[in-house]
Amino acid sequence: QEAGQVAPEAATAAIADGAGVAVDSVLTKMQELVNHGSCGNGKNNVRKSRRIHMKQATAVPVSDELKNLHSQEAEAAHGKITDQSDCEIKKEPRESCMSSIVGSDDSHISGLSIRLQSLGINITSVTPILSKNVSSTDCHPNQARLLLSRHAVEGSPLLGMLTPLEDALVHSSGLPIEVVDRYGCSYDMFLRYLDSTTSYRLIVQWRNFLEMSHMIPGDLVKLGAFRFEGQLALTLLHYGNAGKAKKVLDRKLKEKKVESNSTVTEKSKELTSRETEESKEELTSRKTDANDAESASSVAEAIKKKWPSEMLEAAETLLMLSCSGDKPKPSE
């Protein structure tokens, strides 16, 4: 009933010139549904077009470079931090950056910035929509959707940015929408309101984004929105849990400190052991010298008892001369 009340000019305006073939096809079929009511054939045609669109979207290859970037990003967030710069990859933006979707000086969204610049869009013109710490069901591959609460969406600028046709599609079969991540990689998704859960969902290639980002429960995602040639698109930035990242970094620093202390302790033990060995050698040397002196004294006493005084004096003279290196002068 709501779909039948949409103005034809609004429906026409929602289909951007130069939009992708798959998106054009889906929007055209959905426009037919809006114009001709909610008959069964119309719904089937929309579902068929959406399935075709999903297959085309899934067939888009993702480069190994982008996969590696996502993997590095996930490693930084989930326990493989090597230094502070790695940690910052996944941290939530500074407070000064919160007025826009991202800070213009954020080097970690260079891919998104380049992608938007190629479309003639400044990254600071992206409208912040909402942020969410993902739940375990958001991260479950079998769920294949990002759940957005009705309260969060209706309290954001998103619904105010929709045309009447787009709003009608969101609340019926779903609005096809391009989602761009921080590296400029695109995902074809649908934004749809589900009456049974009274919540909004991003579906279709959410699973692809999930696999690429290695997201875990508690991670932060931020949504932004912009238009290109009349077509609504979203930015989806994934940040790790900043508190968790800090704990991981603190643990790494603590491990380094313990390792450093252990090294110092080992060196101290080695030095102590060396000093002990030197002390033992010195003590042994002193004992040896003392024993030698005692032996020499005993020998001298024995000689004194056995030798006459004249012979003893001669022996002492010879001993002194031998110690000094002088030789006795030959008698004339």
Answer yes or no: is pLDDT of 31 > 70.
no
CA pseudo-torsion sign 312, 318, 324, 326 = positive
Label residue 20 by pLDDT band (50, 70, 90): very low
pLDDT tens per residue across span 51-96: 554 444 444 444 555 455 545 554 544 443 333 333 333 333 333 2
Contact in structure between 3 and 38 (CB atoms under 8 Å)? yes
pLDDT, residue 270, reads: 76
pLDDT at 100: 32
Q: What's residue 60's pLDDT?
A: 42
* pLDDT recorded at residue 64: 54
d(CA 248, CA 69): 20
- CA of residue 238 relative to chain centroid, distance: 10
Instruction: State yes or no: pLDDT of 266 exceeds 70.
Output: yes
Top mean pLDDT of 92-101, 114-123, 246-255 is at 114-123
Q: Indicate the Cα dihedral angle 91, 93, 94, 96, nearest 10°.
A: 180
pLDDT at 167 > cutoff 50: yes
The arithmetic mean of pLDDT across residues 173-200, rounded, is 87
Better pLDDT: 115 or 51: 115
Is 177's pLDDT higher than 70? yes
Query: What's the rounded Cα separation, in Å, for the pair 163 and 29?
Result: 17
φ, ψ of residue 185 to 5 degrees: the values are: -80, 135
Question: Under a CB-based contact definition with an 8 Å cutoff, are residues 145 and 119 in contact?
Answer: no
Q: 192-249: per-residue pLDDT in tens? A: 998 888 899 888 888 888 877 777 888 888 899 988 888 888 988 888 765 555 565 5
Rounding to the nearest 10 degrees, give the CA dihedral for residues 284, 288, 289, 291. 140
Look at residue 143 and give its three-state secondary structure.
coil
* 295 confidence band (pLDDT: 50, 70, 90): low
Q: Are 8 and 18 in contact (CB under 8 A)?
A: no
274: its two tokens: 């060396």
For residue 61, give the amino acid letter: P
Residue with the bigger pLDDT between 293 and 66: it is 293
State how far the Cα of 250 lies from the Cα of 248, in Å rounded to an integer. 5
Mean pLDDT in the chain?
66
Can you say whether the dihedral through the CA atoms of 277, 283, 286, 288 is positive or negative? Answer: negative
> Is residue 320's pLDDT more than 80?
no
Please indicate whether residue 6 or residue 165 has the higher confidence score (pLDDT): 165
Higher pLDDT, 69 or 177: 177
Per-residue burial over 177-193, b = 16 or more CB atoms within 10 Å of its CB, e = otherwise? bbbbbbbbbbbbbbbbb
Over pLDDT 90: what percentage of the chain?
2
Amino acid 34: pLDDT: 47
Tell me the C-alpha distance between 276 and 129, whole Å. 70
Mean pLDDT value of segment 152-156? 90
Determine contact, residues 141/211, Cβ cutoff 8 Å: yes
Q: What are the phi and psi torsion angles at 4 (to 5°)?
A: -70, -15
pLDDT of residue 95: 32
pLDDT for residue 317? 74
Higher pLDDT pick, 242 / 20:
242
Region 258-274: mean pLDDT is: 73
Instruction: Tell me what pLDDT residue 200 has.
Output: 92
